[in-house]
Amino acid sequence: MGSKEPLLGKSPEELKEIVIKNHLPAFTAKQITEWIYKKRVQSIDEMTNISLKGREALKESYTIGTTNPIWSAQSTDGTKKYLFETAHGNIETVYIPEDDRATLCVSCQVGCKMNCLFCMTGKQGWSGNLTPAEILNQILSIPDSTKLTNIVFMGMGEPFDNLLTILKVCKIVTSDYGLGWSPHRITVSTVGVIPGMIQFIKETDCHLAISLHNPIPEERADIMPMEKKYSITDVVTELKKYDWEHQRRVSFEYIVFDGINDTQRHATALLKLLKGLHCRINLIRFHKIPELSYCSPSESKMIAFRDYLSNNGIICTIRRSRGEDIMAACGLLSSNHKHDKIQ
């Protein structure tokens, strides 16, 4: 985003410090806040209720901080995948329209430290955390931004490995001064980084999703190394301390691998693990990535697995696959365009 500091991602308090530093009236901070988050201007010049002298002073050191995607693709199912350039490399953002919903899957890191076996992002390694401006830019700079109904932090990176930034973005999106969204329109997904998860639960009212993928700790550790530090049994034990029976939800993401985690043994272990926790499980078909032989089971096996869980008291759905013709797997697009720059 260049050498100038972005105003996007700043709180009203931070903007007040900036205007005072630049010898502008304190009320200018409120004006800037409205221009950025309500009117969504692209340049400081558009802030016409700020004096010309004031705008020129701001432009010396600051920019709005929005940038357009450098690449995009649209699937036959309407899904759109975008590539954004950031200070640490390229990241993916996915727009998913469906009936009366429009969900944006955003990234929070360039690469990821979690190194899950089935995830292309983890195979990139970790290059850096996104800033609040770089995350908010994904939300504000796609063509369909004003159509969005939901945001999910299920793109590149582990959100709770960039916790303070995630908390700040959630606050801006849900605050009256920001986008003014209900927190229940936001879901943050984690592999189960317990300290960050606890802080997130306490400081926000946003929904939580846990990347589960195998209920048996020893097997989960084979595909998700973070299991060795934060066991799924400890994650669930912690979750049972909180109330999930009202508007706030906790869900579990479960990519189904044929012959790996889709047996009766795994279904029984899921029931035992989640007993007493008000939650839902989202079964997900595996999107193939290079150098991994895993594949999804047949449709009939997916349905049988879902029905067993549903019939035993767990709300369970099969998530519809989207964007398979535009490199649906998370991290696949950015890996193929790792060194692309704005032309």
Q: What is the pLDDT of residues 283-305, one digit of tens each?
A: 999 988 988 999 999 999 999 99
Tell me: do 10 and 139 sit in the same domain.
no
Torsion region of 330: left, alpha or beta (phi above 0 gives left; psi -120 to 50 gives alpha): beta
Distances (CA, A) of 284 to 11, 81, 316: 37, 19, 11
Tell me: do 129 and 9 sit in the same domain.
no
Looking at residue 30, what is its pLDDT?
98
Residue that is last in its domain, among 47, 63, 79: 63
Choose the catalytic residue: 85, 92, 134, 253.
92
Q: Specify if 82 maps to a domain.
A: no
> CA angle, 35 as apex, 167 and 80 as ends, to 5°?
65
Model confidence over 47-89: pLDDT tens digits? 999 999 999 999 999 999 999 999 999 999 999 999 999 999 9
Q: Specify if 242 maps to a domain.
A: yes
Tell me: do 36 and 152 sit in the same domain.
no
Tell me: do 53 and 109 sit in the same domain.
no
Nearest Cα to 138, choosing from 98, 89, 84, 178?
84
CATH number, position 149: 3.20.20.70
Looking at residue 56, what is its pLDDT?
97
Is the predicted pLDDT of residue 169 greater than 70, yes or no? yes
Is the predicted pLDDT of residue 14 greater than 60, yes or no? yes
Residue 1: band (very low, low, confident or very high) from pLDDT cuts 50, 70, 90: very low
Domain of residue 304 covers 88-336
DSSP string, 304-318: HHHHHHHHTT-EEEE
Q: Specify if 69 maps to a domain.
A: no
Tell me: do 293 and 185 sit in the same domain.
yes
CATH number, position 55: 1.10.150.530
Model confidence over 172-193: pLDDT tens digits? 999 999 999 999 999 999 999 9
Q: Specify if 77 maps to a domain.
A: no
Looking at residue 343, what is its pLDDT?
32
Q: Specify if 73 maps to a domain.
A: no
Contact 150, 187 (CB under 8 A): yes
- In the annotation, is 279 catalytic? no
pTM: predicted TM-score of the whole model, two decimal places = 0.94
Is the predicted pLDDT of residue 308 greater than 80, yes or no? yes
Looking at residue 341, what is its pLDDT?
47
**Cα(92)–Cα(79) distance, rounded to whole angstroms?**
13
User: Residue 74 phi/psi, 5° resolution?
Assistant: -120, 130
- In the annotation, is 218 catalytic? no
Choose the catalytic residue: 119, 206, 279, 330.
330
Looking at residue 342, what is its pLDDT?
33
Tell me: do 246 and 317 sit in the same domain.
yes
**Cα(222)–Cα(117) distance, rounded to whole angstroms?**
8
Tell me: do 43 and 105 sit in the same domain.
no
Residue reference for tokens 């200070």: 87
Number of domains in the chain: 2
> CA angle, 287 as apex, 282 and 293 as ends, to 5°?
115
Q: Specify if 117 maps to a domain.
A: yes
Q: Specify if 100 maps to a domain.
A: yes
Looking at residue 32, what is its pLDDT?
98
Is the predicted pLDDT of residue 270 greater than 60, yes or no? yes
Q: Specify if 33 maps to a domain.
A: yes
Tell me: do 319 and 253 sit in the same domain.
yes
Tell me: do 57 and 149 sit in the same domain.
no
| Mean pLDDT calculated for residue range 189-212 | 98
